Structure 1
């Protein structure tokens, strides 16, 4: 179980790290990639930077506390915050009518729920 939680945590961190590109690439260029990225046009550049900053903090919060053994309780807390972030992403996709592109967000939401559940419960770092 611990290995599965680490694998999911690292995958989730990698996805979030790649997703921070919205902070550095212009909105119009991101939106031209495909239908799944058109949502960036609904947000201001400062809002995209804020989302990207939250994602970078989430990457750090998922990995560093456990690896450094400094406040490892932050790992499930971060995963819980990611549940909220991805819930917002799913709601945004539903409001935009993007039912075809909602699947990855639901997968990431499930991954975050799994990490939060596992690290708060059966495989917590404190017990």
Structure 2
């Protein structure tokens, strides 16, 4: 079970770190040019950057506390936070009628819930 939790956390962390890092490093105007980032229109620059920061910090929180054994309860808390981010993304994409954005976020939601439940139980 521990190996499955590490795999789920690792996959989630890589995806969230990449997505969040890209959003942090890219100006909002440039994000709007990407056809997969239409949702950015509905949010302020500050909101987009805060979502990106939550993704990056959550990705770090999925791995480091558990790996280092320093306050490991932060790992399932980070997983819950990222599950909330994924759930929010599903709602936004559904409301905007952007079905391409939903499946990836459903997978991220399942992975992060699995990590949260597994790490809280362990």
Q: What is the TM-score normalised by the length of structure 1?
A: 0.88
Structure with max Cα Rg: 1
* Alpha carbons 2:79, 2:115 under 8 Å: kept: yes
Q: How many residues align?
A: 121
Q: Which runs of 5+ in 1 are unaligned?
A: none
> CA offset at residue 42 of structure 1?
1.6
Structure 2: distance between partners of 1:47 and 1:17: 17
Cα separation, 2, equivalents of 1:100 and 1:82: 19
Q: For 1:53 and 1:29, locate their aligned partners in 2 and report how far apart those are by CA, in whole Å.
A: 18
Given that residues 28 and 41 in structure 1 are in contact (C-alpha distance below 8 angstroms), is that contact kept between their aligned partners in structure 2?
no
Give the Cα separation in 1 of the matches to 2:33 and 2:2. Answer: 40
Deviation at 1:111, TM superposition (A): 0.6
Distance across 1 between alignment mates of 2:86 and 2:71: 24
List, as ranges, runs of 4+ consecutive aligned residues in structure 1 with deviation greater than 3 Å.
none
- In the TM superposition, what whole-angstrom CA distance separates every residue of 1:27-51 from its partner, at most 9, and x where no partner exists? 23223232x2111122111111111
Paired with 2:26 and 2:38, the residues of 1 have a C-alpha distance of 13
Greater helix share, 1 or 2?
A: 2
Q: Which residue of 2 aligns with 1:2?
A: 2
- Structural RMSD (CA): 1.3
Paired with 1:90 and 1:19, the residues of 2 have a C-alpha distance of 15
1:13 and 2:8 equivalent? no
TM-score normalised by L of structure 2: 0.91
